Amino acid sequence: MQRILNNPDDIVDEMLEGFLKAHPELAERTENPRVVKAKSMAPDKVGVVTGGGSGHKPAFIGYVGENMCDAAAVGEICSSPTAAAFLDALNVLTGAGAWHVSTEIIPEII
């Protein structure tokens, strides 16, 4: 399969940019370029954060939206997001607490 890439080093950032342009009604940027948050979050809802590597797009960011996840931390291709990205994702929540949904990726557990 052929793929068109501008610069392989920018693939994750460009994927996030494209996703946000395609779905402005669902998600938006945060101060951390590797964190996406839902456009609207209920103030009385426990916030849900997820995240993971970018090797299976649009997994994780595709779960962000109304009545779904409130934020997602995004890592490189087949690599976990940084701890700072997860912390930033938790910090964008506006609800009554937080629930972090994680997969069993060893760096995320450590």
59-91, pLDDT tens digit by residue? Answer: 889 899 988 999 999 999 888 899 999 999 999
How many CA atoms lie less than 13 Å away from 95 in the CB half-sphere? 21
Query: pTM value?
Result: 0.85
Determine the CATH number of domain 8-109. Answer: 3.40.50.10440
Task: Enumerate the domain spans of the chain.
Answer: 8-109
Residue 83, both tokens: 């701890």
